[in-house]
Amino acid sequence: MMRGTLVVAAVIMAAALWRSDALHAAGGSATRGKLAYQDCAACHGARGQGSDLAPGLRNIVGRKVADENGFAYSPALRRHGGVWSEERLAAFLLRPQAEVKGNRMAYAGAASAAEAADLVAYLKTIK
Ligand code: HEC
């Protein structure tokens, strides 16, 4: 009886741990991402609202690439096509020029893959 209860408790705990782990791995840290976003704010706006220099970034995860109305994107970014998945976004933020050769974003790239994941986690909070 007691043993069964312990097993159930262990399974519930393991599931809870797995869940927080999975969320972390998939999402990075939005808190750290918010700090890293300071590198983006001068162009994309303090809360991703966009500016004359750069497109807005609200709801960017799942949004079509180069789809902000009225922003004059480069041919390179338009050709990139499709939708910004978390993976494509992280790859672009890590190495913008390697990922989308010839794009016009003057940003060298995140310091690490972890920082790129943190940025994506933060971008998901900008709606
Ligand atoms: C110096 C200005 C500048 C900085 C700094 C900058 N960007 Fe950009 N960003 C741009 C411009 C300009 C474009 C459009 C590029 C093009 O059309 O080739 C762009 C495009 C993008 C896009 C694609 C948007 C879309 O509608 O498809 C994303 C996502 C993005 N930037 C995120 C970021 C993030 C996150 C940071 C900070 C880590 C950042 N950018 C830093 C200027 C900047």
Q: Give the CATH number of the domain where residue 110 resides.
A: 1.10.760.10
Closest residue by CA, ligand 1 atom 5: 40
In a domain? residue 1: no
In a domain? residue 48: yes
Please tell me the total count of domains within the chain: 1
- One digit per residue, pLDDT tens: the chain, 127 residues? 567 666 666 655 555 544 444 344 457 999 999 999 999 999 999 999 999 999 999 999 999 999 999 999 999 999 999 999 999 999 999 999 999 999 999 999 999 999 999 999 999 999 9
Specify the pLDDT at position 8: 62
CB-neighbour burial class of residue 33 (10 A; exposed 0-12, middle 13-18, buried 19+): buried
Structural domain of 90: 29-123
68 lines ligand 1 (CB under 6 A): yes
Specify the pLDDT at position 13: 56
In a domain? residue 73: yes
Closest residue by CA, ligand 1 atom 33: 40
Residue with tokens 């494509």: 88
In a domain? residue 54: yes
Closest residue by CA, ligand 1 atom 25: 66
Specify the pLDDT at position 98: 97
What Rg, from alpha-carbon coordinates, does the chain have? 19
Specify the pLDDT at position 49: 96
CB-based contact 49:100 (threshold 8 Å): no
Neighbours of 21 (CB within 10 A): 10
In a domain? residue 74: yes
Specify the pLDDT at position 26: 58
Specify the pLDDT at position 14: 56
Residue 110: which region, alpha, beta or left (left: phi > 0; alpha: psi -120 to 50)?
beta
> pTM of the prediction?
0.85
103 lines ligand 1 (CB under 6 A): yes
- Distance (angstroms) between ligand 1 centre and the Cα of 104 equals 8
